[in-house]
């Protein structure tokens, strides 16, 4: 198809432009709540094209009233979402390309081999916080849209590009797009899967806090007191055993061959004591519990709480002084689409044609996929350029994969939405 050759050539012609944009995005810190500067760059890029542009701060009150809202401590003033719509001529299917611009903290910067905000291009990789998760994917989205327009390809269906804030804290940026009415016949999130696989599901999750009570007093009385730190360690071991049980019974065909934990549950923080010579009155542990598609996160977490209360009833101290369990902060519902969905089939066909690789459909972790699927009547999948050290030191994205991803997205968008001027 002649239009396809033009589109692929248009992506190739953007290589230097794509690298410059990726480096500019990575060099612009976007730790929440400071996404405004990086969104201004995205807005600038999209305003250079003939698109309907929608820039708005997610509405706090509307978000809080929605059943999928994830509680956060910060509001969304001066934290805009940016959405661009390339209007189709009519008669085609619509598509959303979604990417988030917020990133997680860098940690100790001296542990990095590269400046985490430097966006250094070394041996085909761009290094820096957010390079893979997911500014590389954002560049692929923008470049795919640019390539279609520069190649003169007019689509029958609408192509919608969403650049959202606050994904790392739970997804309220994408939720704001759903609330604003953005719907499509399909959606792709360009999270860093690598170009040989695509996720068609996401796990559910819930943060929890367990407070284990003890008896406060000076260390000289320690043999007469119950130290909650010791008791917390016993609770910790019980939770580890429960997590193994969860692994043995949790089943889903997209996750059964996972090489890592398929249904995570674990304690990740612990705090106990205020003074080196005082036995504390309590010890607090925090962690996360997750569920697979087909499971209800609320049912899973209540089963976990029942286990913990039953286990505690067998302990002489905890029987009369049980730990408390609180659910707080980040939470997800699990979601999935049929691996044989027509958009997945389209993506697989284009990927095989352009890369020579079969695109394996797999199960994914917690992400924004659930929001259009469960609340936006929009089937969604995850496919994006490969990266490494995500959420860690020396994060990077493979630049060649960013380019190839843009090609796959552009061609797949044209085939899915339909070409009006073939």
Q: Is 115 a residue of the active site?
A: no
Mean per-residue pLDDT over the chain, rounded: 96
Condensed to tens digits (0 to 9), the pLDDT of residues 59-107 reads 999 999 999 999 999 999 999 999 999 999 999 999 999 999 999 999 9
What pLDDT is attached to residue 100? 98
Give me the torsion for CA of 18, 19, 23, 24, rounded to 10°: -40
Cβ atoms of 187 and 95 closer than 8 Å: yes
- CA 318/CA 313 separation, integer angstroms: 6
- CA 332/CA 203 separation, integer angstroms: 7
What pLDDT is attached to residue 421? 80
Whole-angstrom CA distances from 315 to 70, 244, 267, 308, 321 are: 35, 21, 20, 11, 10
- CA 66/CA 179 separation, integer angstroms: 8
Cis preceding linkage at 99, omega within 30: no
Q: Which residue has the tokens 């089937």?
A: 379
Q: Assess whether pLDDT exceeds 80 at residue 259.
A: no
Cβ atoms of 46 and 84 closer than 8 Å: yes
pLDDT band at 257 (very low <50, low <70, confident <90, very high): confident
Q: Which of 257-261, 334-338, 366-370 has the lowest mean pLDDT?
A: 257-261
Q: Which residue out of 167, 168, 333, 336 is catalytically annotated?
A: 167
Read off the pTM.
0.95
What pLDDT is attached to residue 260? 72
Strand locations in 119-174, DSSP E?
121-122, 125-127, 159-164
Dihedral of CA 14/136/93/44: which sign? negative
Among 177, 11, 175, 152, smallest CA distance to 86 is for: 152
Dihedral of CA 415/199/365/290: which sign? positive
What pLDDT is attached to residue 256? 84
Percentage of residues of the chain with pLDDT beyond 70: 100
Condensed to tens digits (0 to 9), the pLDDT of residues 123-144 reads 999 999 999 999 999 999 999 9
Q: Which residue has the tokens 């994904």?
A: 167
pLDDT band at 241 (very low <50, low <70, confident <90, very high): very high
What pLDDT is attached to residue 232? 98
- CA 13/CA 7 separation, integer angstroms: 10
What pLDDT is attached to residue 1? 80
- What architecture is domain 204-332? 2-Layer Sandwich (3.30)
Strand locations in 94-192, DSSP E?
95-100, 121-122, 125-127, 159-164, 187-189
Q: Which residue out of 35, 45, 102, 368 is catalytically annotated?
A: 102
Range 2-202+334-417 classified under CATH 3.40.630.10: yes
Question: How do the domains of the chain map onto residue ranges?
Answer: 2-202+334-417, 204-332
Q: Assess whether pLDDT exceeds 90 at residue 50.
A: no
What pLDDT is attached to residue 59? 95
Strand locations in 78-158, DSSP E?
81-86, 95-100, 121-122, 125-127
What pLDDT is attached to residue 346? 98
What pLDDT is attached to residue 250? 92
Strands 81-86 and 159-164: antiparallel
Q: Is 102 a residue of the active site?
A: yes
- CA 127/CA 110 separation, integer angstroms: 15
CA angle 322, 326, 329 (to 5 degrees): 160
Condensed to tens digits (0 to 9), the pLDDT of residues 356-408 reads 989 999 999 999 999 999 999 999 999 999 999 999 999 999 999 999 999 99
């Amino acid at each position: 198809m002649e239009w396809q050759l033009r589109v692929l050539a248009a992506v190739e012609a953007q290589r230097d432009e794509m690298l410059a944009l990726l480096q500019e995005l990575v060099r612009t810190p976007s730790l929440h709540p400071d996404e405004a500067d990086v969104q201004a760059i995205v807005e600038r890029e999209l305003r250079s094209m003939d698109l309907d542009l929608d820039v708005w701060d997610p509405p706090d009150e509307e978000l809080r009233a929605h059943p999928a809202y994830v509680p956060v401590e910060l509001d969304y003033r001066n934290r805009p979402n940016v959405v661009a719509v390339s209007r189709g001529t009519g008669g085609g299917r619509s598509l959303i390309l979604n990417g988030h611009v917020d990133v997680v903290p860098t940690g100790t910067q001296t542990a990095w081999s590269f400046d985490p905000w430097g966006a250094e291009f070394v041996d085909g990789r761009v290094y820096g916080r957010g390079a893979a998760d997911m500014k590389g994917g954002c560049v692929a989205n923008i470049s795919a849209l640019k390539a279609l327009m520069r190649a003169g390809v007019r689509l029958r269906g609408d192509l919608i590009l969403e650049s959202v804030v606050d994904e790392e804290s739970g997804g309220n940026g994408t939720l704001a797009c759903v609330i604003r009415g953005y719907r499509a016949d399909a959606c792709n999130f360009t999270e860093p899967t690598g170009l040989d696989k695509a996720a068609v599901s996401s796990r559910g999750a819930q943060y929890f806090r367990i407070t284990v009570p003890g008896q406060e007093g000076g260390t000289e009385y320690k043999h007469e007191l119950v130290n909650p730190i010791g008791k917390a360690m016993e609770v910790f071991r019980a939770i580890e055993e429960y997590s193994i049980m969860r692994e043995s019974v949790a089943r889903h065909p997209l996750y059964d061959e996972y090489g890592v934990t398929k249904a995570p549950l674990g304690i990740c923080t612990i705090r106990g004591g205020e003074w080196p010579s005082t036995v504390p009155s309590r010890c607090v542990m925090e962690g996360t519990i997750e569920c697979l598609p087909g499971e209800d996160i609320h049912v899973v977490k209540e089963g976990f709480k029942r286990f913990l209360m039953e286990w505690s009833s067998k302990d002489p101290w905890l029987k009369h002084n049980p730990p408390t369990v609180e659910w707080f902060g980040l939470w997800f519902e699990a979601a999935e689409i049929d691996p044989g969905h027509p958009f997945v089939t389209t993506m697989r066909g284009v990927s095989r044609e352009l890369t020579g690789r079969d695109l394996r459909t797999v199960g994914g972790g917690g992400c924004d996929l659930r929001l259009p699927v469960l609340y936006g009547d929009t089937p969604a999948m995850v496919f994006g350029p490969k990266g490494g050290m995500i959420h860690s030191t020396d994060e990077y994205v493979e630049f060649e994969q960013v380019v190839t991803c843009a090609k796959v997205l552009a061609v797949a968008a044209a085939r899915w939405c339909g070409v009006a001027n073939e």
